[in-house]
Amino acid sequence: MKLKFVLLLIFSLNIAFCQKKFKIFRENETSKHELGINKYSFIHHVCPDSFYMTDLYHTLDYDEMALIIKNLYKGVTYNDQVKVIYQNTKPTNAIMSYFITDHKKEGTIFAMLTNFNTSIRKFESKVEDPDNQLARWYSIRGDRLVYRKDIFSKMNEELKLKSHRKSDIIKLYLFDDNSENDFKIESLIENILKKRSDDIDTYFARIYQIQNYLMNNQTQNAGIALEMLEDYFSTNHNLPRNLKIYLMMVRAEYEVYTRL
């Protein structure tokens, strides 16, 4: 009984601490995920764009990220929005809204609107120039969120196949809206990992391997592959150190995924 009380107290204190850092406003408090989107597809787009494009990852831990993403995943419906206000950002509070809307060309989209000014990398009460306001949107295609640059086309596929980066085509197949090419992903990854001819290609192939595991709910394999990626990065000094941000993002995606 005493242990239960202590655990409940810790949980309550964590919630109270989170509320000092940010507040989540859901129009529908009881909704459970209605959009039918693959859990990892949702996390992959919304987590990095919310926390890493805005530098909020500096002030949030994985539990806090997961709490926010969980409320977005369950709370955003075709009729209901979710807003998150961060109270520890300067010079003003960060305000991020998530909602579903219709686009003339792309159909139904999941949108994220913020008051983050990309030119000065700060949140503002009002971003005067719309071109500098961070806004992201993703098409809903089946059970996937798809970023506009990842929408499949033969032209896009040919460009990726001709790229000097052999891993570029993997990224397209993994995150596009064409499920018919998914079967190619695993063998493409394995080919790069076996050859190890290019350190950067190998690095990204390892990242895509983790993401492919998560997309297919193979959490244990993803965890093992993540440890191998971290070891590869720490021991391979040929890799530019500024590539670490991609490792940080895939680690965050994994941590959030295992908490949802």
pLDDT at 13: 38
pLDDT at residue 91 tops 90? no
pLDDT at residue 16 tops 60? no
Nearest C-alpha neighbor of 186 from the set 205, 168, 166, 200? 205
In angstroms, the CA 209 to CA 90 distance is 37
Tell me the pTM.
Answer: 0.90
Phi, psi of 15 (to 5 degrees): -60, -45
pLDDT at residue 63 tops 90? yes
pLDDT tens for each residue of 139-169: 999 999 999 999 999 999 999 999 999 999 9
pLDDT at 18: 53
Helix (H, G, I), strand (E, B) or coil at 91: coil
pLDDT at residue 12 tops 50? no
Helix (H, G, I), strand (E, B) or coil at 204: helix
Residue type, 45: H
pLDDT at 19: 65
Establish whether the linkage from the previous residue to 48 is cis, with ω within 30° of 0.
no
Mean pLDDT across the chain:
92
